[in-house]
Structure formats: C-alpha cells, structure tokens
Amino acid sequence: MRHTGFGTFFVPGPTEVRRVVLEAMTKPMIPHRSEEFEALFTRLQSGLGTVFGTQRPAYIVAASATGFMESAVRCAPPGRILCLVNGAFSERFARIAEACGREVDRFEVSWGKTHDPETLDDHLSRREYRAITVAHSETSTGALNPVRTISDVAHERGALCLIDSVSGLGGTELRFDDWRLDYVLTGSQKALALPPGLAIAVASEEFVRLAGQAPARGVYFDIVELEKYVRDGQVPSTPPISLLYGLEVQLEAMTAEGIANRWRRHADMASATQAWLARMRAGEDGWQTIAPLDAQSPTVSTIRLPSRLVGDAFVSAVAANGIRVGAGYGKLRDTTFRIGHMGDHTVSTLARCLDACERAAVP
C-alpha cells in the first residue's frame, strides 16, 4: 500500500510522522563538537524533561530502544534480576538479561494480563534480587503495567526497577521524579511520533552511582559515560543530527499541546476503540482487546478477531481500504491484529482506521 497522507498509518511502531518533522530533518549538518550542537542538545533536554517528568538529563543515542534495554542490564549493579514477563517485549528484556550473563528468574503471567504488585511483593520476598525489569506498555498485547506501584514494591524489597516504556512514554502518564523511578527507556518511533533510530533513557542519580559498580558496562551504552558527557551538553559518540532536528520540532509541539493533554488524547482514542469494539461484537464472537479494560494501554490495542478471520489476511484486507494496521505479534499473530492509536493521531483520524477495519470485516 502506498502511503498517501496523514491518517493512514496505524501500525504500533513505527508510527506516522508529520511532514513538518520530516522537513526539519533536511536541514544542513552541523559539527557535533560545536557550540551550535550544544545549544540544540540543551533545548532537547528541556523538552525531554517535560515528557519524562524529570529534572534529570536524558541520554540520547542512535539505536533502537533495545540498545537501552541492554544498557539497563549491563549497568545494573551485580546481583540476580527478576524479569516480569507478560508479552513478547518483556520476554525480550528477559532474554537480553540472560544474554548479558546475568542470573535471571522470570515471573510470567498470561499474555494480555498485567503484574499484580501484591503478588510481586510475595515473589520478591522469597529471594534477594538486585533489580527487576518490566514493560510499561506491552506493545505485543496492549497491556499497561502499573509501573509506579511496581517500582515502589521493588524499592521496599531493595531492588531497582528497570522500565521499558517504548510504547508508553508520551502517550500515557509517567512521572519520573514524582514516582521516584530508577531507569526508564523509550524509542523515537512510538508515541513520540518520530522516525525510528533514537533510543532515549533517563536514570536516577542513585542508579548512575550504582552503575559504577557494574563490572561489564560495555562502551556504547555505558550510563556512567553518557552521564559525564550529557552534563557538558554533549554525547560520547557521533549523534544522528537529522533525527535530533526532528526531535526538536516534535518536542516543541508536545510542549505546546501539554503533556497531560497528550495523555488525555491517547486515552480518548483508546476509549473510542473500545466503543467501536462493543458495537462490532454485538453480532459475533471476538472483537475485544486481549488486555482487560482496567489494564488497557492508551497507545495500542491488540484485538482478538472472530474465528472466521485470520490475522494476516485481515490486515491485508484493511490495507486494501487504504489503512495500514499491525499484525498480531508472536503467538498472537493468527488470532489478533493491532491498532497503534498513538503519536499525533486523534479520535478523528482514528475513525478512518476503524471504518476501514469494519469494511474489511464484512463477510
């Protein structure tokens, strides 16, 4: 399907990017060891502070968000890690921890479910853990974990909380400082509505201090090194200047909208999706999110199809109507599809997507 204009692309990452952002990325290069770059980097820090809800600096590197998942693990101090798994991307966090040679236990719940803080507390009481990993918005299932309470429980048991908010940040509430979080990572291509290629993270002062105890932090994603450079308005390695131009334009728009208004807009899109699903399932099975309503992410809905429809074929039928949605992920591929109602989409643009899905479902 040819991309013909805004309001056609509803894949849960990469999301649709506004033309003004793409145009900003065509500006001329500047040296990254220059006052001009440092001024740009300082402006980015101000906007990212608003998005993360923090006074701490944000680390920006050229990578997918998976890079900062590995960074979280490598920079966590020595000790066993408990990985909370409820979908494909929280599973990825666990596999990364294992690949980095850490001692790892998994606390798994069914895909579509979230982790209950009380049950987690019981789990943490059985063994000493140095850190836990958790997906805020699990992009494969559309489930939203209560990371504020999960982080509090981890702290009470002496563990750090490493949060993947790749499809959460910018689309649902997260307040790094007020919630006393340790480490949050995201990527540019989800609710921030930028092209892929930027990984962004914030770490607490305590996490950076403890990272100094980690014996194998590596080089490219070393939080201690990133912290040292960011304080001087700089980065250790050559940054993707063009993407940073786009990030600046997008952060200006997000600040003008207001972060709370942005969270509310995403919640409205999730509600509109639920209202549409209620109407669709009045006549047949399926047509419901696999995440329960009280744990549904505002940014992505993973929707169970009626038994007569198959995931890939349905996604192709929607594309024939001029809209691109996401296929189900992993073991959910054949039975679900995903709508990424995030970034700069609105209830109005989402209506076009839902209409195309409805037409594709006609027997």
Query: Per-residue DSSP letters for 161-223?
Result: EEEE-TTTTTTS---TTTTT-SEEEEETTSTT---S-EEEEEE-HHHHHHHTT-TT--STT-H
Rounded distance, CA 309 to CA 313, Å? 7
DSSP codes joined into one string, 237-261: S---HHHHHHHHHHHHHHHHH-HHH
**pLDDT tens per residue across span 42-72:** 999 999 999 999 999 999 999 999 999 999 9
Rounded distance, CA 151 to CA 154, Å? 5
Topology (CATH) of 19-256? Aspartate Aminotransferase; domain 2 (3.40.640)
Domain ranges for the chain: 9-15+258-360, 19-256
Share of the chain above pLDDT 90, in %: 97
Q: Which residue has the tokens 């307040």?
A: 175
**pLDDT tens per residue across span 243-299:** 999 999 999 999 999 999 999 999 999 999 999 999 999 878 899 999 999 999 999
Q: Which residue has the tokens 């982790």?
A: 115
pLDDT at 3 over 70: no
**pLDDT tens per residue across span 184-209:** 999 999 999 999 999 999 999 999 99
Query: Which CATH code for domain 9-15+258-360?
Result: 3.90.1150.10
Confidence of residue 5 (pLDDT cuts 50, 70, 90): low
Rounded distance, CA 192 to CA 219, Å? 27
Element (H, E) at 119: helix 117-124
Rounded distance, CA 175 to CA 253, Å? 19
Q: What are phi and psi of 350, to 5 degrees?
A: -60, -35
Rounded distance, CA 316 to CA 261, Å? 33
**pLDDT tens per residue across span 289-333:** 999 999 999 999 999 999 999 999 999 999 999 999 999 999 999
Q: 319 by DSSP, 3-state: which?
A: helix
Contact call for residues 249 and 47 (beta carbons, < 8 A): no
Averaged confidence pLDDT in the chain: 96
All residues at 6 or more sequence positions from 209 whose CB lies less than 8 Å from its CB, including other chains: none
Rounded distance, CA 351 to CA 209, Å? 48
pTM of the model: 0.97
Confidence of residue 7 (pLDDT cuts 50, 70, 90): confident
pLDDT at 4 over 60: no
pLDDT at 1 over 60: no
Rounded distance, CA 258 to CA 50, Å? 9
Share of the chain above pLDDT 70, in %: 99
**pLDDT tens per residue across span 94-108:** 999 999 999 999 999
Q: Measure CA of the first residue to CA of the last residue in the chain; give whole Å.
A: 22
Q: What is the pLDDT of residue 6?
A: 75
All residues at 6 or more sequence positions from 182 whose CB lies less than 8 Å from its CB, including other chains: 151, 160, 161, 162, 163, 203, 204, 206, 207
